[in-house]
């Protein structure tokens, strides 16, 4: 999604949100990520001026008053955290770990294949199909990417071929490179 993302060409507009819309987004985030409930006031303070950055391909990015990119979604889909936010609050997404051999492919934007999640260096946390997950790497401390499961973890282990997780946002992609929006 963000492989060829360039902030100068991709951003089409920035909207200041009304407080009722901000409240709706906060509630949706708490519903989607229950572990964030105690931290939501740090991430999206109630009195903060929250904006939405509209981008091409129907992508929306939530930014706070300091311009930090917090969450994004495509076409009214689920809100997903940016990697920078996930590095600050690493506990609110289920973690799927790939083996060392998959690292360079994940960092180039490739989807995560089932064998990369079932090999000896990999670990899976139970997650249903369509769940937003943090993609970790064997021997690394922080998440490499954020993905959307194509199969449940049970099906990934059973089938063991094909795409297991769709790579949505990874280190050094266009969203990672994007500067705070003023």
Task: Take residue 62 and report the two structure tokens written for it.
Answer: 């939530």
Please state which CATH number belongs to domain 11-82: 3.10.400.20
β-partners of residue 74 are: 59
pLDDT per residue of the chain (182 residues) written in tens, 0 to 9: 676 676 667 788 899 989 899 999 999 999 999 988 889 999 998 888 899 999 888 899 999 988 899 999 988 889 999 999 999 999 989 999 999 989 999 999 999 999 989 999 899 999 999 999 999 998 889 999 999 999 999 999 999 999 999 999 999 988 898 888 87
- Amino acid 1: pLDDT: 64
pTM for the whole structure = 0.90
Residue 80 dihedral angles phi and psi, to the nearest 5°: -120, 140
Residues 6+ apart with CB under 8 A from 180: 63, 66, 67, 68, 69
Please state which CATH number belongs to domain 95-170: 3.10.400.20
CA 61/CA 107 separation, integer angstroms: 21
Task: Tell me the DSSP string of 106-140.
Answer: HTTTPPEEHHHHHSTT-B-----TT-EEEEEETT-
Quick one: 181 exposed, middle or buried, by C-beta within 10 A (0-12, 13-18, 19+)? middle
Q: Where do the structural domains in the chain lie, given as residue ranges?
A: 11-82, 95-170
């Amino acid at each position: 999604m963000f492989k060829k993302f360039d902030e100068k060409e991709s951003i089409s507009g920035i909207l200041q949100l009304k407080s009722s819309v901000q409240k709706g987004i906060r509630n949706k985030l708490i519903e989607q990520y229950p572990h964030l409930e105690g931290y939501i006031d740090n991430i999206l303070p109630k009195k903060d001026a929250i904006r939405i950055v509209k981008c091409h391909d129907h992508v929306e990015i939530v930014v706070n008053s300091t311009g930090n990119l917090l969450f994004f979604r495509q076409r009214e889909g689920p809100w997903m955290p940016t990697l920078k936010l996930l590095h600050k609050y690493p506990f609110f997404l289920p973690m799927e770990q790939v083996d060392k051999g998959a690292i360079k492919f994940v960092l180039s934007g490739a989807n995560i294949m089932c064998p990369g999640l079932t090999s000896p260096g990999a670990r899976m946390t139970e997650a249903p199909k369509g769940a937003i997950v943090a993609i970790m790497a064997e021997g690394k401390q922080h998440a490499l990417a954020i993905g959307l499961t194509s199969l449940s973890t049970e099906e990934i282990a059973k089938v063991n071929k094909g795409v297991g997780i769709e790579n949505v946002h990874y280190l050094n992609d266009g969203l990672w490179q994007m500067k705070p929006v003023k």
